[in-house]
Amino acid sequence: MKQINCATFEGLEAKVVSVEATMTKGLPSFQIVGIASQAISESKERVKSALLTGGFTFPPKRITVNLSPSELKKEGSHFDLGIALLIALWDHNVDLRGHFIFGELGLDGSVKENALLFALILSLANQCLLHEAIVPTQSLEKLRNIPDIRFIGVSHLQEATALLKGELEAAVTAESAIDAECLHVKGETYYFRRDYPLDFAEVRGQELAKRAALIAAAGMHNLLLEGSPGCGKSMIAKRLRYIMAPLSRRDILDIAKLDSFEGKTPAFNALRPFRSPHHSSTASSIFGGGSSSARIGEVGLAHLGLLFFDELPHFGKNVLEALREPLEDRRIRISRVNSKIEYATDFLFVAAMNPCPCGHLLSTHHTCRCSDLEIERYRNRLSEPFLDRIDLYIQMQSVDAQQKSTFDSRSLHDQVISAFVRQIERGQSLPNGRLDEADIERYCLPSPQAGALLDQATERFGLSFRARNKIRKVARTIADLSGAEQIEKTHLLEALSFRRR
């Protein structure tokens, strides 16, 4: 028996699959067992054709290929190359055990790229299960971005057999550079971009809303913008992704993994994802799901980026209430009869809403035509437990054409980067908005005056323990933006001004 290693997905994480092959006497046949998908079952014809056209002989024996563990469902055409090598090198004294081999075969023996190969190998690398792999040459440009893995590219089945027999020297790929600027803080490298295709300078007025957007980007604080149609809510939300904090190399790879799940070509450019589902989207499309197998949804694809809900009250009540879990825990678990997956949902949540159904309640140019009952019903679509997850609330006013902008994206981004560096140098592994209770007591210490003010606000406004902690975290970010070591009274007053009343 000969054996190689491959992998398949179970939910969003890769699992190692041992590919075993035996050749016994009997009527010639070729069987693949081990809960193989249709794509793997069809590999029998691809493998046979690739061997015959590549100058190999197809043994007239009973060939059995087993994909172990047998209880795990296997999917993907990347098993082709490993299966073909087990057959081609059956009579050769070549030890294949322990080799990770990935690649789809063409009928002429060419080794092709698989759509999910990057995500598969990145998941194995994150679990420290993979250190070297034979992969299609086409995939090297993307795969070499994964650090600490030695990749050997092959373009044909004959090249792969010569490599394993020692007749060809392996070409080791060098780690590629990420297309972005970088900074070094405490021995780690972080990447960011300086191009702003959507600039805050294009947003007229709304200086308070821009200040809130700056705080949200610097500390990953959830933001709710309320205002009349056309006042700039969506403009601010769409520009936020370009001023968010720098990313580590591991973060960039995780974003590229999500791109692979969508069938996109990873860009590796330190640009955070931006997801904006329509309010008519189903709960399954937003959170993930499916009838037979659970798949990732919008909240998972927004990981490390920005999730924007426009027209917030028009989203279904079940969607808004279910959003509380990923907003609080930064993870979500999807359970189905045949599968259960859990994935990270560490995103910046930004929402926009009108003040009333017609949208003109706050307008200075139009008259609101909504009744008090209609306005109350509209606002009651958002529950207090959901709103308690919002860190920053801004009520935006109408804008005059003569108003100018005093902020641009470059200056805001510089402030975000400075605050980010202060957080890292302070010893934080997470931004201020993601700190747990223990870290809040360690990093978000108010001055005596600020502490007394927070106690007064808690008693006066009846703040919950969650709301109190959120105010401290927002105040910590404001202090970082001003370069202060401790949370002072002015920082806390500004943080309190952003609370929804």
Asked whether the predicted pLDDT for residue 291 surpasses 60, the reply is no
**Among 450, 501, 439, 442, residue whose Cα is nearest residue 475:** 450
Domain ranges within the chain, ordered by starting residue? 2-164, 184-414, 435-501
What pLDDT is recorded for position 421?
A: 96
The residue ranges of DSSP E strands in 143-216, in sequence order, are 150-154, 181-185, 188-192
Looking at residues 196-223, what average pLDDT do you find?
A: 94
Total Cβ atoms within 10 A of residue 367:
8
Contact 461, 501 (CB under 8 A): yes
Rounded mean pLDDT of the chain?
91
Listing DSSP states for 189-204 in one string gives EEEE----SS-GGGS-
Topology classification of domain 435-501: Helicase, Ruva Protein; domain 3 (1.10.8)
- Most confidently modeled of 218-232, 286-300, 339-353? 218-232
Q: Residues 144-179: pLDDT tens digits? A: 888 888 899 999 999 999 999 888 776 666 666 787
Q: What residues pair up with 223 in beta bridges, in sequence order?
A: 350, 392
- Most confidently modeled of 29-38, 459-468, 488-497? 488-497
Looking at residues 235-253, what average pLDDT do you find?
A: 95
Alpha-carbon span 469 to 83, nearest angstrom = 56
Q: Residues 370-426: pLDDT tens digits? A: 999 999 999 999 999 999 999 999 999 877 767 777 889 999 999 999 999 999 999
183, amino acid identity: L
Q: Which residue has the higher pLDDT, 45 or 115?
A: 45
What pLDDT is recorded for position 92?
A: 86
Asked whether the predicted pLDDT for residue 104 surpasses 70, the reply is yes
Listing DSSP states for 243-294 in one string gives GSPPEEHHHHHHHHHHHHHTTPPP--SSPPPEE---TT--HHHHHEE-SSS-
What pLDDT is recorded for position 174?
A: 63
* pTM recorded for the entire structure: 0.89
Class of domain 184-414: alpha beta
How, if at all, do strands 331-335 and 340-344 pair?
Answer: antiparallel
What pLDDT is recorded for position 183?
A: 94
C-alpha triplet 66, 68, 74: angle, nearest 5°: 90
Q: How far is CA 459 from CA 114, 456, 464, 492, in A?
A: 59, 5, 10, 15
**Among 180, 307, 320, residue whose Cα is nearest residue 251:** 180
What pLDDT is recorded for position 1?
A: 83
How, if at all, do strands 104-105 and 111-112 pair?
Answer: antiparallel
What pLDDT is recorded for position 292?
A: 58
If pLDDT is split at 50, 70 and 90, which confidence band does 18 have?
very high
Domain 2-164: give its CATH code.
3.30.230.10
39, amino acid identity: A
Distance of CA 447 to the CA centre of its chain: 37
Helix (H) or strand (E) holding 422: helix 409-425
Which of 91-95, 100-104, 220-224 has the weakest average pLDDT? 91-95
